[in-house]
Amino acid sequence: MRTTPLPRPAPAPVQRPGVVGETTTRIDGGPKVKGEFEYSSDLWADGMLWGATLRSPHPHATIWSIDISRALALPGVYAVLTHEDVPGRKVYGMEIPDQPVLAWERARYQGEAIALVAADHPETARRACDAIDVAYEVLEPLSDPERAMAADAPKLHLSGNVLRHITLRHGDQAATADVVMTGEYEVGSQDQAFLGPESGLAVPDGDGGVDLYIATQWLHVDRDQLAESLGLSPEQVRLTMAGVGGAFGGREDLSMQIHACMLALHTDRPVKIVYNREESFFGHVHRHPCRMHYEHGATRDGELVYVKARIVLDGGAYASSSTAVCSNAACFACGPYNVPSATVDCSVVYTNNPPCGAMRGFGAVQVAFGHESQMDKLAAALGIDPVELRIKNALAPGHRLPTGQVVREPAPVAELLERLRAMPLPPDASPGPRDLRELPGGVSNTTHGEDVRRGIGYGVGFKNVGFSEGFDDYATARVALSLDGDGDPLVSVHTAAAEVGQGVVTVQAQIARTELQVERVAVLTADTQVGSAGSSSASRQTYMTGGAVKMACEAVRERLLQRVADHAGLDPFDLSLAGGAVIDSRGETVATLAEALVSAPIEETVEFHHAETYPLDENGQGDAHLQLAFSAHRAVADVDTRLGLVRVVELATTQEVGKALNPQALDGQIDGGSAQGLGLALLEEIQIRDSQVLNASFTDYLLPTILDMPPVKKQVLEHPDPDAPYGLKGVGEPPNISTPPAVVAALRSACSRELARIPVRPEQLAGIDEPRRSRPPAPGSRGPAGARPTRS
């Protein structure tokens, strides 16, 4: 029997959304801005315990023993668990279950979970972690992905270190070109840096099952992995969405889910786990660091002949979604251009670095920096305007991707670039004294205009929407049309779609409002009481769950019309819905909704599957992708060329969105995606040395502030995709893809340096790469110049 009452989510609030296409203020917007929104870290249950996680300080070590006796003896400690206590499958993973729930024998990355504690106070739990004695034998970490691919490298997993290799061969492999341009590029590891750290509350049901309140991106894939590792049936594991403080891919993998449930089931008490910021950096996967070698061949007048790319992604210690990221990097390596011949080799490898997985843009972000840098280099070599070169080679409907897939409408790459180029540029800096906030360095007062030069750069990018390569991607929706206590019609929408900040709750309400013409809509809390919605990732949720809600509404409408038709002795095909009533073909009311629903509500549950996709063959060929989304960015940046400091003056963007369902939410996605792209170009990197993270805090992992992020000028195109609900395209990821190359191109044009690596550091911009002079360490300093930083 359950001894603890479950935390009751408030009843679903009733919204009065606009129809599809109308700006509708998000229902969670007000509470979030006012600090009243309940995030997963705010969860509370009477009598709950606090969980804490002991993590490996070493990126690579043999674990000889784990002694929990001192920790268990501490007053206030209720449980100390290790891998021996995992009730079911001891590993998890979305695609390849290779990650231990709790490590045994070997720790493969710094921060890997070793043991769990439940205690009556979080501080007690942390102290108990310190009292767990783990005998490690520290091993040399395998830090370099290139080294990990070598035949003689130590194997981190039985399957070897190459997690996936894609060979893509398209067109004439012997093609030659008038002009050949090569380049090497590198992208550092970006963190999703969501502001709400990993957190959740597990409540045992007293009958061996468990309820978990959790901030996640995909409830059902969490549930299935939880059931496996807890040794329970899926019905015994019920998940309810708790307030998500951002995700960006970082909540696709499990973090504390199994741990909290293990502790709750073991202690028969509710257990809450909340990571702090430092632990969060170790608690989720990051964007794959990436090294790229490109060779572009073109005719003298700038037509692309071939693209060759060799791409190595650092997958870190465990698989996560690396295999799919690898596929994206390979498929989109050549950019949104018509490339007759492509030769792409893309690998993702295991190392002892932090595990990498999903992050907004998902493999397309890294290669966009590569292919766009190449296009600029090529344009310079050919003496062609970089935008003109892109337009000349722009991908268009009817072209084939390097995977052989034919590009369908709409794919207006040239139009995006033309419109972007036509957008007015910001005015030049006015002469005379300037507000420091308008200068590189801001109020840090580093320049009053000295050595500041302006640069302009362009970038264009694309990626797939929805899951690819033959995955049966679907979403479920349950829609009920009923009368509330006052006899007024109300639509209830129930899906498992994760609201991660993108606005899917409101968009579901808009769709219900549009399809059923009922003004009042309640979107129920997402949970596993309804079928899977799939993940809030791959820019897919409006397409997929939106599509499911639309389809369920249509089914409800059909039954409603049938019911009214049956009652009135009419043909249902002569009836339609309008203004809260069922009307006939002459516009006469046959029945009001109140009349039609008084006998019984109407409820329909549907699954919406997107069109089939296919795996890539051994040459990387196949119709692997559902829909392609495109965007272009222009960046204008002022650079202090002597100090290497930057102020991005303006970002401008064009994006093909098919149909803007909620224009305000779309603006938010473009602003946010652009900011995250600017962050990657200029600031955001998890610095890793010898597989150790050097900056696991927001003091040294720098996110753009409002003084770093300029306003974004936007123009969206709405060419409908005939196969998508309302003609829409996914919109969340493209801005994140085309921003970094545009920003870096602007920096290059300002400072005339190569800038082959992002994030670009002031050192690179100022051309200060080598030690300028050496001198013996000063007394009291921490060592000679260039010495290893210490983590004090």
Partner 1 sequence: MDFLQPTSLTEALDIMSAHPEALPILGGTDVMVELNFDRRRPAQIVDLGRVAELDDWGAENGRLRIGAGVTYARLIADLGERLPGLAIASRTVGSPQIRNRGTVGGNLGTSSPAGDGLPPLYVSDAEVELVSSEGRRRVPVERFITGPKRNSLAPGELISAFLIPEAEGPQQYAKIGTRNAMVIAVCSVALALHPSERQVAACVGSAGPTPIRALDAERFIAGVLEEGNLWESPRALGDTALRRFGELVELAARPISDVRGTAAYRLHAVGVLGERTLKWAWNDYCGGSR
Give the residues lining the site for partner 1 (CB under 8 A). 126, 276, 278, 437, 440-448, 450, 642-645, 647, 682-683, 687, 694-695, 697, 699-700, 702, 704-708, 761-763, 766, 768-773, 775, 778-783, 785-787, 789
Question: Shortest Cβ distance from residue 789 to partner 1 (Å)?
Answer: 4
Cα separation of 633 and 753, whole Å?
21
Answer whether 186's CB lies under 8 Å from 369's CB.
no
Nearer to partner 1, 65 or 445 (CB): 445
Give the pairing of strands 341-350 and 304-316. parallel
Nearer to partner 1, 138 or 787 (CB): 787
Q: Which of 254, 274, 122, 121 is nearest to 197 (CA)?
A: 274
**Nearest 10 degrees: Cα torsion 788, 789, 790, 792:** 170
Provide the 3-class DSSP secondary structure of residue 689: strand
Structure tokens at 716: 């969206």
Cα separation of 669 and 662, whole Å?
11
Q: Where are the alpha helices (DSSP H) in 145-245?
A: 145-149, 219-230
Cα separation of 362 and 326, whole Å?
9
Q: Where are the alpha helices (DSSP H) in 683-755?
A: 734-751
Question: Shortest Cβ distance from residue 32 to partner 1 (Å)?
Answer: 19
Cα separation of 439 and 640, whole Å?
8
Provide the 3-class DSSP secondary structure of residue 415: helix
Its sign, for the CA torsion 433, 435, 440, 441, is positive
Cα separation of 250 and 234, whole Å?
24
Nearer to partner 1, 34 or 773 (CB): 773
Cα separation of 633 and 376, whole Å?
14
What element of type H or E holds 542?
Answer: helix 541-568
Cα separation of 141 and 112, whole Å?
14
CA atoms within 13 A on the CB side of 186: 11
Question: Shortest Cβ distance from residue 274 to partner 1 (Å)?
Answer: 13
What element of type H or E holds 81?
Answer: strand 77-81
Nearer to partner 1, 562 or 705 (CB): 705
- The number of residues making up the chain comes to 792
Nearer to partner 1, 28 or 451 (CB): 451
Question: Shortest Cβ distance from residue 711 to partner 1 (Å)?
Answer: 15
Question: Shortest Cβ distance from residue 257 to partner 1 (Å)?
Answer: 24
Question: Shortest Cβ distance from residue 783 to partner 1 (Å)?
Answer: 6
Helix/strand/coil (H, E, C) string of 102-161?
A: CCCCEECCCCCEEEEEEECCHHHHHHHHHCCEEEEEECCCCCCHHHHHCCCCCCCCCCCC
Question: Shortest Cβ distance from residue 245 to partner 1 (Å)?
Answer: 18
Contacts of 517 (CB under 8 A, 6+ apart): 577, 578, 579, 580
Nearer to partner 1, 173 or 705 (CB): 705
Nearer to partner 1, 59 or 440 (CB): 440
Question: Shortest Cβ distance from residue 697 to partner 1 (Å)?
Answer: 7
Answer whether 307's CB lies under 8 Å from 333's CB.
yes
Nearer to partner 1, 8 or 772 (CB): 772
Nearer to partner 1, 276 or 299 (CB): 276
Question: Shortest Cβ distance from residue 115 to partner 1 (Å)?
Answer: 17
195: which DSSP letter?
Answer: S
Question: Shortest Cβ distance from residue 770 to partner 1 (Å)?
Answer: 6
Nearer to partner 1, 417 or 765 (CB): 765
Question: Shortest Cβ distance from residue 632 to partner 1 (Å)?
Answer: 25
Nearer to partner 1, 5 or 711 (CB): 711
Question: Shortest Cβ distance from residue 183 to partner 1 (Å)?
Answer: 24
Question: Shortest Cβ distance from residue 131 to partner 1 (Å)?
Answer: 14
Contacts of 419 (CB under 8 A, 6+ apart): 654, 715, 717
Answer whether 239's CB lies under 8 Å from 528's CB.
yes
Nearer to partner 1, 69 or 444 (CB): 444
Nearer to partner 1, 302 or 644 (CB): 644
Amino acid at 433: P
Helix 504-516, helix 541-568: angle, nearest 10 = 30
Question: Shortest Cβ distance from residue 147 to partner 1 (Å)?
Answer: 23
Question: Shortest Cβ distance from residue 359 to partner 1 (Å)?
Answer: 21
Nearer to partner 1, 195 or 598 (CB): 195
Cα separation of 58 and 613, whole Å?
42
Nearer to partner 1, 2 or 788 (CB): 788
Question: Shortest Cβ distance from residue 444 to partner 1 (Å)?
Answer: 4
Nearer to partner 1, 241 or 639 (CB): 639
Cα separation of 339 and 305, whole Å?
6
Token pair 């029997």 is found at 1
Give the pairing of strands 474-483 and 489-494. antiparallel
Question: Shortest Cβ distance from residue 220 to partner 1 (Å)?
Answer: 35
Nearer to partner 1, 598 or 707 (CB): 707
User: Would you list the DSSP string of 624-672?
Assistant: --SEEEEEEEEEEEEEETTTTEEEEEEEEEEEE-SS-SSHHHHHHHHHH
Nearer to partner 1, 204 or 289 (CB): 289
Cα separation of 62 and 712, whole Å?
50
What element of type H or E holds 507?
Answer: helix 504-516
Question: Shortest Cβ distance from residue 762 to partner 1 (Å)?
Answer: 6
Cα separation of 699 and 173, whole Å?
49
Cα separation of 591 and 568, whole Å?
9
Cα separation of 301 and 173, whole Å?
21
Edge-first strand order for the sheet with 712-717 is: 452-465, 627-640, 645-656, 712-717
